[in-house]
Chains A and B, each alone.
Chain A
Amino acid sequence: MASASSRVLLRRRAAGVLLRERLRLGPEPPRRAVSHFTFYPDPEPSEYGPTQKMNLFQAITSALDNTLSRDPTAVIYGEDVAFGGVFRCTVGLRDKYGKDRVFNTPLCEQGIVGFGIGVAVAGATSIAEIQFADYIYPAFDQIVNEAAKYRYRSGDLFNCGSLTIRAPWGCVGHGALYHSQCPESFFAHCPGIKVVIPRSPVQAKGLLLSCIEDKNPCIFFEPKILYRAAVEQVPVEPYHIPLSQAEVLQEGSDVTLIAWGTQVHVIREVATMAQDKLGVSCEVIDLKTILPWDKDTICKSVIKTGRLLISHEAPLTGGFASEISSTVQEECFLNLEAPIARVCGYDTPFPHIFEAFYVPNKWKCFDALRKIINY
């Protein structure tokens, strides 16, 4: 019986097609919740040379490829990285650059980051992959107590600035507690590291290359729901998008909307809804770098609009929206026309079957936006 089942599996694999077990159930599987966002691609960039159609994971591969080809010290490592990674971000790199430069480590996140710090301390370019942001916590000590403090505690004698830690991040539709988390605010509380989250393939490549070349240890969180869903024309050659600079994606006059990662696409749609349904003009900002963050761009915008809505997937309490909100009320108190709104995940672990209710989708953001407009 076991053999039979596995034969099915093997035949399927051999043939390279899905063989359907006839389950003879209801005619249609239950409807899965549709995606909570619509991806807004950016126009094709013209300033960095020829482009190719890439999704987000291919844009990451392209950035890593550029790095390996130009920097002979660069190494890339982590769990299952050698065969291409579970999200396919390192496909082909081992064959192209050798197994001493793109390799598997044993299954141990604290080991991966500790090892990575050492590679960087010795002067090489060190690119670690943690398989999911949810699994970064065994490495918390190495990141927070070691990577973040190397330069400071040694009086700048030593540093691990050439370390970049990549990790898939955020909700994905069915990831539940341990494949959905957005832990950026844990790290935002940690002076000495940089935390960056891209919204798209073009951004991912330019920001990742900036992280790799930045002289400080960086954590680069990749919205995993965008790996395949987000496709853009991405420059083939290396290019850099500056860290710690937010980007105004849409100018507006009535309310400022801030997000990062996948959530940028949610607030873009909300901005369109606000215009269409309420005649409200929104300024949409992608924060991009969580630490150190671009206070000026945000405050300048709020001074203009007088209203602010911040949205992130991570739980509300202690989320990075709190930090932004607190800074904005310090800097822009007299400009504010309404309380700052935060539309975030609830203060619960990320639930599997309730994801559609958990995420701060466009309806929740629109609901909150209406309230601050009518305040």
Chain B
Amino acid sequence: MSAPGRSGRYDTVPRSGSRGVAVGRALLALGGVAMIAWGAYVAVTRVPSSQWPSALVWLAGGIVLHDAVLAPVAIVVGALVLPRVPAPWRPALRGGMLALGVLAIFAVALLAGSAHRRNASVVPQDPLAALAVALGVLVVGVLLGAWWAVAARRRSALRD
């Protein structure tokens, strides 16, 4: 545990507040470790070792993609954009950024799925048109969210 009153301490393993919590977390931790061990056993015994390198690259790739690309982009964009927009716009813009990130993942899947299409019933839609529609929905959603937040603020200002 860190010293009381210190700020900026992250990932501190906290103390259990009650006996129930202590028992619960012990059970969760034990069950969790057991499931991880079972997963590792299944992987080692059923996945041919020739497939491990590719799987491990993908396993590491996800966390690298997040920690080295997605998170820095989100932080920098957040730091640059959010202080410069009115407060009611911020949740909608945050949501928009989140949706944009997810849409980027889907864009990769849609374009790749359409490029590697093995039969006409896989990704039957025009992927670019589909992405344009989704992007339009996203923009409308952000505008509606911001409009709603601004209106809510006006209402609460009138009430006060």
Binding partners A and B? no
